[in-house]
A = this chain, B = another copy of it.
Amino acid sequence: MAESGATTPRERYRAQVRTEIKDHAWEQIATAGASALSLNAIAKRMGLSGPALYRYYAGRDELITGLIKDAYRSLADTFRQASEASDASKAGASSAPGPDLTTLAHALRGWALDDPQRYFLIYGTPVPGYHAPDDITAIAQQIMATLLDACPVTPPDSAVTPLDAHLEDHRQWAGDHPAPPATLRSALTFWTRLHGVLSLELAGHFTGMGFDPALLFAAELEEFSPSTPVGRTRSA
C-alpha cells in the first residue's frame, strides 16, 4: 500500500500486483519465517511463472527490504493512530494532556501478536550481513517521537542521572525531539522493557512456564503509568 498516486490503468495494475506479491510474501513469512521466503514459491502461489516477478521487484533482497519498510510504517501508523485516538477520547476534561502510555503499549502488543514474524522482521535476529537503508531510520525516529509525545514531561522519578546526560548529547535518535532528558530516558526504557517481555512472549519462551504473559506485560507497564506511584501499592 501507499505506493503513491497511481493514475493510469497500467500503473494501478502494477501497484495492485506489487501488493499482491507482498501479501503472499507475508503469508509465507508468517508460516515459515523470513529466511524461508522464496520468489519462486510466491509466483507459484499466484499462478505465475517464476521470472514474472522480476517485472515488479529487482530481486529477493529488494522485496525483503520493501517488507521491512512496510512493517516499520505499519507500526508507526498503529502507534500514531492509537496516540490520536487516546488523545481525542480525553479531550473533555480528564487528567494529563496528550495520549497515555498504556494505550500505546497495548497498541504495540496487539500489533505484535497480530503477526509475530512481522515483529521479528524488525526487532528479531539480524542477519549478519544486512544493513537497513537510511529511510528506515527516519520511520524509527518517527516512532520514537510518537512515544516521546506520550511520555509525561515529568516522569515518576525525575532525578537526572549520568545516563540522562549521555542521552541528552545524542537526541538525534528521536529526531531531536525537545523533551527533557529524564523523558528521553523514560521513553527509551519503556521501549526496551516492553520489548523484553514481548519478544520473549512471541518467541514462546513463556509457554513452558504456564503463566499468562499478559500479566507480566501489564506489570511492566504499570511502572510507567502516572496514575499509580512507582512502588506498587496493591496487595493480595
- Assembled-state Cα–Cα distance A117/B129 (Å): 12
CA distance A164 to B215 in the complex (A): 10
Tell me, yes or no, whether A5 is within 8 Å of chain B by CB: no
**Which residues of the other chain, B, contact A50 by a CB distance below 8 angstroms?**
none
Q: Is the CB of A236 closer than 8 A to any CB of chain B?
A: yes
- Is A203 positioned at the interface, with any CB of B under 8 Å from its CB? yes
Per DSSP, chain A at the interface is helix
Q: Bound state CA distance, A117 and B126, in angstroms?
A: 9
Task: Give the chain B neighbours of A216 by CB distance below 8 A.
Answer: 163, 188, 192
Please indicate the chain B residues that have their CB under 8 angstroms from the CB of A169 in the complex: 211
Mark A205-221 against chain B: 1 for CB-CB distance below 8 A, else 0: 10011111001101110
Question: Does A173 touch B at the CB level, under 8 Å?
Answer: yes
Q: For the complex, give the distance between the alpha carbons of A219 and B197 in Å.
A: 18
CB distance from A235 to the nearest CB of B (A): 5
Contact A200–B123 (Cβ < 8 Å)? yes
C-alpha gap A194/B120 in the complex (Å): 18
Number of copies: 2
Interface size on A, residues (CB 8 A): 63
Question: Could you say which residues of chain B place their CB within 8 Å of the CB of A188?
Answer: 216
Contacts of A9 in B (CB 8 A): none
Q: Smallest CB–CB gap between A68 and chain B, Å?
A: 13
With A32-B129, A163-B219, A196-B196 given, name 12 new contacts (CB 8 A).
Answer: A31-B128, A35-B35, A123-B205, A159-B231, A163-B216, A163-B218, A165-B236, A169-B211, A173-B211, A192-B220, A193-B193, A230-B230
Interface residues of A (CB under 8 A from B): 30-35, 117, 120, 123-129, 137, 140, 157, 159-167, 169-170, 172-173, 185, 188-189, 191-197, 199-200, 203-205, 208-212, 215-216, 218-220, 230-236
